[in-house]
């Protein structure tokens, strides 16, 4: 799993990982590095300006509505508890 904190970083990686320049609504994208499959997990940076910030406290809407469900989904994909 590749975790990207900052949507600008995902834009930089898009050409290298053969991704669409536009990020989909789903923060989890399958990628391949050489012959190795991976998951790209791209979120806003925790210190981003509202409404995309999620590092200031555990009750931010982005953390609860975007980060938490995405992490849960990634863990299911990776088959981890």
Which pLDDT band, with edges at 50, 70 and 90, does 56 fall under? confident
Total structural domains in the chain? 1
Residues in a beta bridge with 5: 43
Mean pLDDT of 63-79: 86
- Nearest in space to 43 (alpha carbons), one of 4, 69, 1: 4
pTM of this prediction? 0.73
Kindly list the strands in the beta sheet with 36-43, ordered across the sheet, starting from the edge strand earlier in the chain.
Answer: 2-5, 36-43, 28-33
Taken in order 1, 61, 49, 56, the sign of the CA dihedral is negative
The whole-chain average pLDDT of the chain stands at 86
Q: Which structural domain range is residue 16 located in? A: 2-78
Q: Is the pLDDT of residue 81 over 70?
A: no
Give the E-state strand segments of the chain in sequence order. Answer: 2-5, 28-33, 36-43
Give residue-wise pLDDT tens across range 27-44: 888 899 889 988 898 888
């Amino acid at each position: 799993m590749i975790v990207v904190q900052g949507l600008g970083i995902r834009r930089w990686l898009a050409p290298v990982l053969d991704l669409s320049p536009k990020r989909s609504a789903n923060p989890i994208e399958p990628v391949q590095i050489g012959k190795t499959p991976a998951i790209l997990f791209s979120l806003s940076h925790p210190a981003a300006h509202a409404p995309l910030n999620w590092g200031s406290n555990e009750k931010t809407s982005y953390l609860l509505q975007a980060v938490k469900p995405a992490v849960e989904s990634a863990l299911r994909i990776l088959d981890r508890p």
